[in-house]
Amino acid sequence: MARLPQPGGDEGEWGEILNDYLSQTLKSDGTIKDNVVTNAALAPDSVSTASIVDNAIAEPQLSAPVRAKLNASANAVLLTSNQTIEGVKTFTDIVLAPTYRAAGTNHMQMGGGEYPSVGTLNSSNVITSQMISDPVSGSIFFDYSENLGGSFYIRNNPVDGAHLLRVNESAATFAINVVAPSLRITGGTPEQGKVLTSDATGNATWQAPTGGESTQFSGDMIKLKELYQPIVGVLPESELLQDEYIHDNVDVGNYTAISGTLWNSPRFNTQSQSFVSNIPGNPAGGCTNKTNGRDVGSCFDFEFELTGDKFAIHMQTFGYFDTQIYVEHEGQMMKIQSYPLADDYSGMNFRSIRFARYATRRIRIVMPFIYFFQIVHEANAVLRKTPDRPMIAVTGDSYVDASGAYNQGSARSYATAGTVDAIIEATGFAVLRLGQGGTGYFNNATGAASDTPGPVNSTRFFSSQRVATLSEVGAGSLVALVVNGTINDGELSGGTALMKARALEGFQAVNAFDAGISIVAISPEPINNPAAGNVHDLNRLGVMEAIDEHPQGIGFIDFYNPSDPLWTGTGTEASPQNDQQTQLVGFDTIHANWAGYKLYGQRIAAEMSEMKIPIERAWL
């Protein structure tokens, strides 16, 4: 075995012993033999770059496994700042990065798999939402977790924007108007002539119009004046023996055998009315008439045919009131008195009428907000229901509301001689009264633009309450709808464009249940010298544009026209001036007196007379 010489020994053999030892690792030329220095012979980290001469170790000097690793294809790239990976690279596991940005190209491609997607993970590494694409059809899907309360939103900025569209399992909710050139609703059972009708919670279904089958219009038109049957003149004094109020008890001494017909009798024509019992289940307690959706009653206006010579209106009154009666005489309806008969009494009251002769007469009675019980008559008298008249509806503000017709303190004013009553006398029409004081297209009688009911349940012109009454009473039977005013909206509208939009919305609410109702719009009232460019004029222009644009609009009555108003001036009965308005506006300085309402209503009837309606509505 080779060894080193031992000091003090191996005398004479040192050279041979040393040569044997060195020859184990060195060649005869003094270089290290092959495979003498291996990795097993090196201590870990014992060879540093400083110990190796540059380029002293070439690849052939490395082991086969090391050479194989060096020559294998790379499966990772280490990048330092601002370096670029070129060519297609494949990742077989999750790529983690605080932010991923696709820059310098106009799209990011996803492939591999049936439905490639971009998803988001929650803290439990569960996908809660994702955008999925279908390569076959080219579709894109958005998934969200409804059970976690999730929704799909479209917002107007990415941080805290308003939700313009929200979709979840309950509904798709739009926060703004949905504007489209056309809209098709295919759910339910749509058919020709059906309309969408909403329930109380806003769910709409396809229904036949409440007035019956949809009417197809021929396009032939007729002027409204062809339907007029005006009330003309006053009943001759010779025809009337008695017309007075009797308090507490009827004058039974004038009757041979007294009888009565209660308010709920089918012998009365109440086509434009909505009689409501004062005591539910007890007709003997009388009734009120509620046609305009408010908590307070409206004017009574009903008819019957009487064969006899006397009758009395049994009512309960509450202070000041007046009533008007129209009587048929020789084929012509006329007033029983030149003006309504007024009284001031609280309690049971009877307006007692006796004619000079026994005859068959058509009787029409107009009364303010009172309690009506019955028509008292002889037991042998005959009462029959009269035929329907052409019927219109009038909606608007206090100028068409009976509660505003009586202007206390004025020289002449009556509760039953307002704008609507003047229209009735000029046309003979039955009128559905929907006017509510203080209201407008926007105003709910509080001075605010609101859909919330105001005092005594007052609402804006085309509120759901007013439209419901209009639909219930008038669908399929109204000749026209007249919309009056108003100065109540003022700056609440926001200008001409918004007023136009609101008016069109209201007109379309009518179209939704009856496309055959012709619509007439009236400007704001001409109070205190109409001026071009003020808020009322801007609203006037908006309504004018709306009625001109809507297919059911047949005319605009322009009382507020700054260049040609219905009247001029700033005076009133409370503050007289030498001008037109002083003669027409009463003591409260805003509402008309008898003369003002007479002029206002007659001009409406006169201008409407030349307007044309579908001929199919002329003979309802």
Q: Which domains does the chain have, with CATH numbers?
A: 1-34 (no CATH), 237-617 (3.40.50.1110)
The letter for the amino acid at 218 is S
When pLDDT is averaged across residues 253-266 and rounded to a whole number, the result is: 98
Distance of alpha carbon 185 from its chain centroid, rounded? 18
Within 8 A by CB and 6+ apart from 546, the residues are 499, 500, 501, 503, 504, 507, 521, 553
Of 76-90, 318-332, 354-368, 416-430, the poorest mean pLDDT is in 76-90
pLDDT category at 293 given cuts 50, 70, 90 is confident
* DSSP-assigned beta bridge partners for residue 344: 320
For residue 212, pLDDT beyond 50:
no
- Dihedral of the alpha carbons of 583, 587, 588, 594, in degrees to the nearest 10: -60
Higher pLDDT, 111 or 280: 280
Phi then psi for residue 206, to 5 deg, are -80, 125
Output the pLDDT for position 211.
Answer: 45
Q: How far is CA 553 from CA 166, 291, 501, 543, 548, in A?
A: 37, 24, 14, 11, 6
Q: Are 389 and 428 a contacting pair, CB within 8 Å? A: yes
Q: In the predicted model, is pLDDT for residue 543 greater than 90?
A: yes
Phi, psi (degrees; rounded to nearest 5) at 253: -65, -20
Of 23 and 181, the structure prediction assigns the larger pLDDT to: 23
Question: Quick one: average pLDDT of 340-349?
Answer: 98
Q: To the nearest whole percent, how much of the chain has pLDDT over 90?
A: 61
More confident residue, 114 or 134: 134
pLDDT band, very low/low/confident/very high, at 79 (cuts 50, 70, 90): low
pLDDT tier, 603 (very low <50, low <70, confident <90, very high otherwise): very high
* Arithmetic mean of pLDDT, 180-188: 67
Tokens 């009553």 sit on residue: 421
CA proximity to 397, closest of 536, 534, 512: 536
Residue with more model confidence, 262 or 141:
262
Average pLDDT score over residue span 237-243 = 98
What pLDDT score does 112 carry? 58
**Does 73 score more than 90 pLDDT?**
no
Q: Edge-to-edge, what's the strand order for the sheet holding 518-522?
A: 430-433, 391-396, 478-484, 518-522, 553-557
In the predicted structure, residue 210 carries a pLDDT above the cut 60: no
Average confidence (pLDDT) over 551-577: 98
DSSP for 499-535, please give it. HHHHHHHHHHHHHTT-TT-EEEEEPPP-TT---TTSH
The distance of Cα 187 from the centroid of its chain, to the nearest Å, equals 21
Summarize pLDDT for 475-510 with one digit per residue, the tens: 899 999 999 999 999 999 999 999 999 999 999 999
Determine the pLDDT at residue 213: 44
Mean pLDDT of the chain: 87
Find the length of the chain: 620
pLDDT at 215 over 60: no
Q: Is the pTM of this model over 0.75?
A: no
Q: How confident is the model at residue 108 (pLDDT cuts 50, 70, 90)?
A: low
